[in-house]
Amino acid sequence: MGRSAKLTALVPPPRAHLTRFHGIFAPNAKLRAQLTSSGRGKRPPADEESTGANGDHRCPDETRRSMTWAQGCLNFLCFNRISAVPSGSWAHTQTATAGDFMPLSATPALAQRTALMTPIGVERMGDAADGLRNPRVLRLENLDTDLLPPLPALELTVSEVRNDDANSYLPFFGHDRLRRAATRLVERNGGLASEHYDWRRQCFISAGGLSGILNAVLALIDPGDEVVLTSPTYVGLINRVKLAGGVPRYARMLPGPTGWRLDLQSLQDALSPKTRAFLMMSPSMPTGAVFNREEWKAVCDACIQANAWMIYDSAMERILFKDAPRLNPLQFPGMAERTVTVGAASKEYRMIGWRVGWILCPLAAAEVIGRVAISNVVCPVGIAQQAVAVALETDDDGIASCAATWQARHDFLVTALRPQFDVIPAHGGWSLLIDFRSRGISGAEASRRLMVEGVAATSMENWGLDETAGFLRLVYANEPLDRLRDIAPRFNRAFD
């Protein structure tokens, strides 16, 4: 089958209501008319809705300024070059209800704090891959895993549905058993004395790790403060810093044939009198880079030098490949009193859907983090907490054997795609990056070509410094080895 025929088979036709003008969503005339009307239930019939043939893709400034939330969502998708949205999808639903919003003239101003936030890309790729409804598509675009959570956690989840205590707002900061277990875990992994933390005052359960990160940045930084992250880094972390009014500063990671190394000079260059916090992760997402002792020491020294907070994202801390060092900032002198650890059940324990994370912080930060936590998600998911507590308590958590399985998949991909492609090996985590700069194409173009061959993978523009636009991420946690076997021919066809 020729490439264009395959593309037609794999990718549904674009929805005409998603039109673009200079990367900004501009509704077609019919949708604009709905948005300016005050009536409800003004959705046109589906066939009319998808015409959009007026050729007028201009969006007057006034209209653009007055975008409703629904438009904003579509804007977000279109800015991210959505070309195919399956009907019945989230974007489609939002369009259908756009006419329900108030007239433009009455729309209040939008908050500016989202202005600098950028698309993630994964949601676009996930929707596009889902929309293909083709089981042959390799799902390497999203951080997911096919490996099961610890069995005792699964069993307890089922019974918790009938537990009245789990169906309560209390305790606001999380169930005692889970707070104790999370506190012990962070103490153990950090090499701290047991009861270093008072779990009643210094441990907060959050609705997933990323919600915990947001709580931490909201509590610790003021608008205009600078936060040091590595580049590449997860754009969801960058956006959370921006949402809190912070300014990201990047320490570069340098790609090489054996993996990523921190550019120590760029770490120094990222510091300024405005540095208020570091937001660090190892193994890191998306690179799978694992800091060695020298790198952690440099980061911790810089943090102390700047008298800054260390927000440590420990979500993948023990997803380490053979021989990767198991280090974290709590193990370095002077760091315990400035480190806020944010953990998650999603990755190590494969409990993504439970939405449970934890924050362990020094006493000096506890009051403010508690204020944010209670103002954000009250309370964490009740029916999930006991199950996560059990996962944290059991010796049979499966983390080491899952890490070995993920490493085998990683190693297979590296071997299969080298030397034709600049694959930068990971040393842990769930994903690796391929550098397409030497081929003169962007990660976005690589992603588009691979989708034609049924490989869903997310490009890295916006995930740090501008140079990240040349990279593509492959998630190796989600597809078993036997499904990865024909990855090399698929790549070769895409880039012939």
Ligand X SMILES: Cc1ncc(COP(=O)(O)O)c(C=O)c1O
- Distance (Å, rounded) from C-alpha 380 to C-alpha 357? 9
What is the Cα gyration radius of the chain? 23
Q: How far is the CB of 143 from ligand X (least distance, A)?
A: 5
- Distance (Å, rounded) from C-alpha 479 to C-alpha 486? 12
By CB under 6 A, residue 317 contacts ligand X: no
Q: How far is the CB of 120 from ligand X (least distance, A)?
A: 10
What does the angle CA 330 – CA 333 – CA 337 come to, to the nearest 5 degrees? 60
For 180, the token pair is 């104790």
By CB under 6 A, residue 285 contacts ligand X: yes
- Distance (Å, rounded) from C-alpha 90 to C-alpha 83? 14
CB 327 within 8 A of CB 282: yes
DSSP string, 116-137: T----SHHHHHHHHHHH--TTS
By CB under 6 A, residue 281 contacts ligand X: yes
Binds ligand X by CB under 6 A, chosen from 132, 182, 237, 424: 237
By CB under 6 A, residue 388 contacts ligand X: no
For ligand X, the closer CB: 98 or 475: 475
Binds ligand X by CB under 6 A, chosen from 234, 296, 358, 471: 234
Q: How far is the CB of 282 from ligand X (least distance, A)?
A: 11
Residue linked to tokens 């102390």: 304
Indicate the residue whose CB is closest to ligand X.
Answer: 208
Q: How far is the CB of 459 from ligand X (least distance, A)?
A: 16
For ligand X, the closer CB: 211 or 442: 211
For ligand X, the closer CB: 78 or 344: 344
Binds ligand X by CB under 6 A, chosen from 313, 422, 461, 479: 313
Binding mask 455-494 for ligand X (x = CB under 6 A): ----------------------------------------
Binds ligand X by CB under 6 A, chosen from 246, 357, 428, 464: 357
Binding mask 120-149 for ligand X (x = CB under 6 A): -----------------------x------
Q: How far is the CB of 88 from ligand X (least distance, A)?
A: 25
b/e sequence 116-136, b meaning 16+ C-beta within 10 Å: ebebbbbbbbbbbbebbeeee
Binds ligand X by CB under 6 A, chosen from 10, 140, 344, 433: 344
- Distance (Å, rounded) from C-alpha 352 to C-alpha 390? 15
Q: Give φ, ψ of 122 to 5 degrees.
A: -65, -40
Is 256 buried (19+), middle (13-18) or exposed (0-12) by CB count in 10 A?
exposed
Q: How far is CA 376 from CA 113, 173, 242, 244, in A?
A: 17, 11, 17, 13
Binds ligand X by CB under 6 A, chosen from 98, 125, 303, 315: 315
Binding mask 204-233 for ligand X (x = CB under 6 A): ----xxxx----------------------
Q: Which of residues 143-202 bind ligand X (CB under 6 A)?
A: 143
- Count of H-run helices and E-run strands, the chain: 20, 16
Residues that bind ligand X (CB under 6 A): 143, 208-211, 234, 236-237, 281, 285, 313, 315, 344, 346, 352, 357
